[in-house]
Copies of this chain bind each other. A is one copy, B any other.
Amino acid sequence: MNRTGLMIILSSPSGAGKSTLARRLMDWDPTLSFSVSATTRPPREGEIDGVHYYFSSRQQFQTLVETDQMLEHAEVFGNFYGSPRGPVEKAMNDGRDTLFDVDWQGGQQIRASALGGHVVSIFVLPPSLPELERRLRSRGQDSEEVIAGRMLKSRDEISHWAEYDYVLVNDDLDRTEADLRAILTAERLRRDRQAGLGGFVKKLMAEEA
């Protein structure tokens, strides 16, 4: 099959449930390829290199950018984040879809990238900002100052909602997960995503009925 994989961009402010939703989507569809980001930020407790992030030094990261091995990258709170190009190209050539957990800057750069694949972009909104702040606090991992910074970043992130194909309001995780599944199912059923369809119809019409 000559199908080219989709690039599925999932963005949302921190705390709106994006990572949980991404993980659930990966569990639902084992053929999905998750684009593990590279970052210069130090690992948090429990984070595994190559699973949650590729942890790298600033110099390593800089080299990857300069040699065009980053599909997109951006600086957030003084740390660099980026999506390595190699795994995405491989998945797409294998006809597998890739899921990106990136912010609006990453989304814009992936859309603009010349990988030639179909891009599907989804923005997840929180039901409210106080609810978002509550979720950030309940993690118990950040200081007041960090939370204030995240909330500012969240507003900046939300301001880009209109750049996305789909918008979900995550007031119920199960419902939002079902919506994500529906979007992925539907996008794969679009005529122009089904590479083998022309051949199928040709064969169908050649049959003696």
A interface, CB within 8 angstroms of B: 123, 125-126, 128-130, 132-133, 151, 155, 158-159, 161-162, 164-169, 178-179, 181-183, 185-187, 189-191, 194, 197-198, 200-201, 204-205, 207-209
18 extra interchain contacts, Cβ-Cβ under 8 A, other than A182-B189, A185-B186?
A125-B200, A125-B204, A129-B204, A129-B208, A158-B201, A158-B204, A159-B205, A161-B201, A165-B190, A167-B189, A167-B191, A169-B200, A179-B186, A179-B189, A182-B185, A183-B186, A183-B189, A186-B186
Task: Assess A191 versus B166: contact at CB under 8 Å? Given A185-B186, A209-B133.
Answer: yes
Interface residue from B133, B178, B194, B205 paired with A155 (Cβ < 8 Å) = B205
Complex: chain B residue closest to A167, CB-CB: B191
Taking chain A's interface residues, is the majority helix, strand, or loop, or is none over half, making it mixed?
A: helix
A163 to chain B, nearest CB (A): 9
Number of copies: 2
**Contact present for A201 and B125 (CB under 8 Å):** yes
Task: Assess A166 versus B186: contact at CB under 8 Å? Given A129-B204, A133-B209, A207-B128.
Answer: yes
Q: Lowest 9 CB-CB distances: which A-B pairs, in order?
A: A186-B186, A129-B209, A182-B185, A182-B182, A183-B186, A129-B207, A167-B191, A182-B186, A133-B209
